[in-house]
């Protein structure tokens, strides 16, 4: 009897995978057959294993592309990240997005905080030797010039990725904003006392162009943050709230240390230029960070998976994304509507009641309005790093409850410029007014951060950047409608009484 080699094995292809059938059984089969059928030249071999041994996974049945099966494009760095996902060491990515959050609202905050420079200096009667209609509603004009282009370009950027990819949009937007601040500094250095109208319209045109670029920049930053865990969207919101505090502090410092209003304005606007240049520089550092690269890789893999599955039609399903994220988009809208209905137009025209109040009269508005709002909104945003309450389902209740701040601020010692108030004043205590301002500001920062973080989580991960852009557009829509409402408040206090 011939002995088979024990090393021999038979490799069979099976439609469910690779099968290995051992032929160690041939020895036992031959022995059994020779005993039962002596002299037979043909032996029938029965398989030793009833079911073949299968290797899993079966590579040819996994539907993976050949490039991935052959590890094409796989570098050692990428393989290491797959095995051991990197962490955000020293919170570098988080802090970078905070910085970009500061940059997104730097133009807006720098201009509204410089109200005294425009109204009390450049457009004042003392400087121009003529009465001007521009001063009475300067913040309203500024709000329109800021938010109409911001609103338009935020919504356009959701559906039409203007300027190409994220890098192109962010880089060119920042450079354009820096150039416009150079023009603003030039206007501050120039003597415009004889041409107040030209100064006003050049300022408004500058603001319009700044916010066109800012709308694209802001929307793109939220889209970029949506690729990362939700706390990084919160980082952008935190930065936008820090931006206001930063502008208020720089306004105080420049006014305190500069010899004149003109010099203070020059230093003030140059600071904004430096902030935007730092944002420009740090954006190029992000792709070098392993944590950021890892999440970009995950987003790209998800996109490729969808394309392989045949679900990607090239354009996101905008209506479905909007419907799914709508609860949080509504929250974002209403939070900023209430906030901008009172800040800064109403808030900055609330006058000091008690002459013995510990804050000097000439600093009352700067401290109780601009500094208080921006600092407390920043604290509210910071709270979301430790507390995330209420849940997405119940967030709408405190958001709706904030509507009460609109009448509360109107009932304070609010006196719009050149308006005779007939509505009675019900809150005549500076401490009560300040407490209301603090609660409004903290709730604005806290709830807006939660809503912005929750919005991308309402949709599939591959649509998170688009949901983030919808949230940013809802934010600007809330700001714009809030500013529109604030323009009617002076009429209310001049005509309404009970």
Residue 386: exposure state from Cβ atoms within 10 A (0-12, 13-18, ≥19): exposed
Give the mean model confidence (pLDDT) for residues 236-253.
Answer: 86
Query: Which has the minimum average pLDDT: 38-42, 156-160, 263-267?
Result: 38-42
Per-residue pLDDT tens digits for 279-290 = 999 988 887 888
| Residue 12: pLDDT over 80 | no
Tens of pLDDT along 402-419?
A: 999 999 999 999 998 778
Assign 2 a pLDDT band (cuts: 50, 70, 90): very low
pLDDT-derived band of residue 36, with 50, 70 and 90 as boundaries?
Answer: very low
Over residues 296-324, mean pLDDT: 76
Residue 161 has pLDDT above 70, yes or no: no
Identify the pLDDT of residue 462.
Answer: 78
Q: Is the peptide bond before 57 cis (omega within 30 degrees of 0)?
A: yes
Segment 328-365, tens digit of pLDDT = 999 999 999 999 999 988 999 999 999 899 998 888 99
Q: How confident is the model at residue 262 (pLDDT cuts 50, 70, 90)?
A: confident
pLDDT category at 442 given cuts 50, 70, 90 is very high
Which pLDDT does position 164 carry in this prediction?
Answer: 57
Task: Give me the mean pLDDT over the 295-309 stretch.
Answer: 74
> Is pLDDT above 80 for 300?
no
Tokens at residue 313, please? 């039609």
Indicate the range of 81-90, 210-219, 256-265 predicted with least confidence.
81-90
Q: Report phi then psi at 186, rounded to 5.
A: -60, -40
DSSP-derived secondary structure letter, 314: S
The Cα–Cα gap between 405 and 447 comes to: 14
Q: 53: helix, coil or strand?
A: strand
189 confidence band (pLDDT: 50, 70, 90): very high
pLDDT in the model for residue 402 = 97
Tell me what pLDDT residue 439 has.
97
Query: What pLDDT is attached to residue 218?
Result: 85
Higher per-residue pLDDT: 304 or 152: 152
pLDDT at 311: 58
Rounded Cα distance, 348 and 367, in Å: 10
Q: What is the pLDDT of residues 124-142, one digit of tens each?
A: 888 888 877 778 778 778 8
Q: How much is the pLDDT for 113?
A: 84
Packed helices 166-189 and 92-113: angle between N→C axes, nearest 10 degrees = 40
Q: What is the pLDDT of residue 454?
A: 93
% of the chain at pLDDT higher than 70: 81
pLDDT in tens, 369-404: 988 998 999 899 889 888 999 999 999 999 999 999
For residue 69, the model assigns a pLDDT of 44
Percent of the chain with pLDDT over 90: 39
pTM: predicted TM-score of the whole model, two decimal places: 0.69
**pLDDT value of residue 276:** 95
Q: What is the mean pLDDT of residues 297-321?
A: 74
The DSSP string of 155-189 is HHHHHS-TTSSHHHHHHHHHHHHHHHHHHHHHHHH
Q: Which residues, 6 or more positions from 94, have their beta carbon under 8 angstroms from its beta carbon?
A: 88, 231, 232, 235
Model confidence band, residue 204 (pLDDT cutoffs 50, 70, 90)? very high
pLDDT digits (tens, 9 = 90+) for 55-110: 444 444 444 444 444 445 556 666 676 677 888 888 999 999 999 999 998 988 89
Section 25-51 average pLDDT: 47
pLDDT for the residue numbered 112: 83
DSSP state of 414: B
Structure tokens at 308: 């392989």
The pLDDT value recorded for residue 492 is 93
pLDDT of amino acid 167: 78
| Terminal-to-terminal C-alpha distance of the chain | 117
The 3-state DSSP composition of the chain as helix, strand, coil percent (nearest 5) reads: 70, 5, 30
Q: Show the tokens assigned to 349.
A: 């025209």
């Amino acid at each position: 009897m011939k002995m088979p080699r024990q090393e021999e094995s038979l490799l069979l292809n099976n439609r469910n995978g690779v099968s290995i059938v051992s032929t160690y059984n041939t020895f036992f089969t031959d022995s059994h057959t020779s005993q039962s059928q002596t002299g037979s030249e043909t032996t029938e071999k029965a398989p030793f294993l009833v079911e073949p041994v299968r290797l899993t996974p079966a590579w040819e049945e996994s539907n993976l592309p050949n490039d991935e099966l052959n590890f094409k494009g796989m570098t050692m760095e990428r393989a290491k990240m797959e095995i051991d996902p990197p962490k955000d060491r020293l919170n570098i990515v988080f802090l970078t997005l905070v910085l970009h959050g500061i940059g997104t609202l730097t133009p807006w905050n720098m201009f509204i905080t410089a109200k005294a420079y425009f109204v009390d200096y450049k457009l004042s009667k003392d400087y121009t030797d003529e009465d001007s209609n521009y001063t009475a509603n300067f913040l309203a004009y500024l709000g329109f010039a800021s938010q109409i282009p911001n609103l338009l370009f935020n919504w356009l950027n959701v559906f039409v990725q203007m300027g190409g990819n994220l890098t192109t949009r962010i880089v060119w937007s920042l450079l354009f904003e820096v150039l416009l601040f150079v023009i603003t500094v030039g206007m501050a250095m120039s003597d415009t006392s004889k041409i107040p109208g030209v100064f006003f319209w050049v300022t408004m045109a500058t603001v319009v162009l700044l916010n066109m670029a800012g709308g694209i920049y802001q929307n793109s930053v939220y889209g970029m943050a949506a690729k990362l865990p939700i706390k990084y969207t919160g980082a952008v919101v935190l930065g936008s709230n820090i931006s206001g505090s930063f502008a208020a502090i720089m306004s105080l410092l420049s006014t305190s240390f500069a010899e004149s209003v003109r010099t203070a304005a020059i230093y003030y606007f140059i600071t904004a230029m430096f902030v935007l240049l730092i944002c420009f520089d740090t954006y190029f550092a992000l792709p070098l960070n392993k944590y950021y690269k890892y999440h970009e890789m995950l987003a790209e893999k998800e996109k490729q998976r969808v394309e392989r599955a045949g679900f990607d039609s090239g354009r996101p399903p905008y209506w479905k994304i909007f419907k799914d994220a709508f609860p949080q988009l509504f929250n974002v809208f209403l939070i900023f509507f209430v906030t901008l209905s009172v800040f800064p137009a109403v808030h900055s025209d609330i006058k000091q009641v008690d002459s013995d109040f510990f804050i000097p009269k000439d600093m009352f508005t700067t401290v109780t309005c601009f500094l208080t709002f921006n600092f407390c909104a920043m604290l509210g945003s910071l709270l979301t790093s430790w507390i995330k309450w209420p849940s997405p389902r119940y967030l709408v209740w405190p958001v709706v409850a904030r509507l009460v701040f609109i009448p509360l601020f109107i009932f304070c010692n609010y006196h719009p410029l050149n308006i005779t108030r007939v509505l009675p004043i019900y809150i005549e205590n500076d401490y009560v007014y300040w407490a209301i301002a603090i609660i409004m500001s903290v709730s604005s920062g806290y709830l807006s951060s939660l809503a912005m973080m929750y919005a991308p989580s309402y949709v599939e991960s591959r649509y998170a950047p688009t949901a983030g852009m919808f949230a940013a557009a809802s934010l600007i829509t809330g700001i714009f409608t809030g500013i529109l409402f604030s323009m009617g408040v002076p009429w209310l206090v001049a005509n309404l009484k009970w």
